[in-house]
Amino acid sequence: MRILRIRKRALDKILNLAERDYPNETCGLMLGKFEGDEKIVFGAYETKNANQERARDRYEIDPRDYLKAEEKAREFGLEIVGVYHSHPDHPDRPSEFDLKRAFEGYSYLIVSVQNGKALSYRSWTLVDGKFLEEEVVIFGF
Ligand SMILES: [Zn+2]
State the pLDDT at residue 37: 84
The CATH number given to whatever domain includes residue 13 is 3.40.140.10
Q: How far is the CA of 86 from the centre of ligand 1 (A)?
A: 7
108 in Cβ contact with 51 (< 8 Å):
no
Q: How far is the CA of 8 from the centre of ligand 1 (A)?
A: 22
Q: How far is the CA of 52 from the centre of ligand 1 (A)?
A: 15
State the pLDDT at residue 141: 87
What beta strand segments (E) does 25-129 contain? 27-35, 38-47, 79-88, 107-114, 117-127
Q: What range defines the domain where residue 89 resides?
A: 2-139
* Long-range pairs of 117-123 with CB within 8 A, sequence gap ≥ 24: 117/19, 118/15, 118/16, 118/18, 118/19, 118/86, 120/92, 121/11, 121/14, 121/15, 121/92, 122/92, 122/93, 123/4, 123/82
Split at pLDDT 50, 70, 90, the class of 81 is: very high
Q: How far is the CA of 57 from the centre of ligand 1 (A)?
A: 7
- Residue 60 confidence (pLDDT) above 90: yes
Bridge-based pairing of strands 38-47 and 27-35 is antiparallel
SS3 8: helix
Q: How far is the CA of 139 from the centre of ligand 1 (A)?
A: 25
Q: How far is the CA of 36 from the centre of ligand 1 (A)?
A: 26
Bridge-based pairing of strands 2-7 and 38-47 is parallel
Q: How far apart are CA 100 and CA 90, in angstroms?
A: 18
Q: How large is the average pLDDT for residues 87-110?
A: 95
User: Domain count of the chain?
Assistant: 1
